[in-house]
Amino acid sequence: MAGLTGATAIAAGNFHSLVLLSDGTVRAFGDNRYAQLGDGTTTSRSTPVQVSGLSSVAGVSAGREHSLAVRSDGTVWAWGNNENGALGDSTTTDHTTPVQVHSLTGVTTVAAGYYHSLALKSDGTVWAWGENAYGGLGDGTASNRLSPVQVTGLTSMASIAGGGQTSLAVNRTGLV
């Protein structure tokens, strides 16, 4: 994009995009009807705007109508549509700026699904929250979760991915 340099990571959501810059800040652009750009508004943007209040960001992920960031201190931040709890703040209130995901530290990677979110912790465990009608959170239920729950039976994981209503993890030996 014109005028946007120093990108270290990117993420594409349904109709919005995120760009992590080398200075640890995040820029967003695209559809913003659900506040998924994190700039304090619901105004869609054709050029990148800075996500409010985020610094020292190490990774980003974009869901259908929400966004996630993991900071270098291992905390997770979320913004946008929270109808199904995808922001992990124990509410279903949408947020136009980032809010911290409750009770989650030591995170190295985040992944956003359609209406759910995932986090991989440095100890190799996977945590999930949000929409769970089809069991995509891996906790053995079909109940939405408004805050993170540990995915059952997953240890020593190396990477994660969120899909429409599914989630995937790869362990350190390469097993999916």
- Edge to edge, what strands does the sheet with 76-80 contain? 57-62, 66-71, 76-80, 95-100
- 3-state SS, 72-107, equals CCCCEEEEECCCCCCCCCCCCCCEEEEEECCCCCCE
Residue 160's pLDDT band (boundaries 50, 70, 90)?
A: very high
Q: Please give the C-alpha separations between residue 102 and each of 51, 127, 130, 149, in angstroms, as whole numbers.
A: 20, 12, 13, 11
Check residue 2 and give its pLDDT.
61
Check residue 13 and give its pLDDT.
97
Question: What's the DSSP call for residue 51?
Answer: P
Residue 33 has pLDDT above 90, yes or no: yes
Q: Answer for the pair 116, 110: CB distance below 8 angstroms, yes or no.
A: no
Give the model confidence (pLDDT) of 94-116 as tens digits. Answer: 999 999 999 999 999 999 999 99
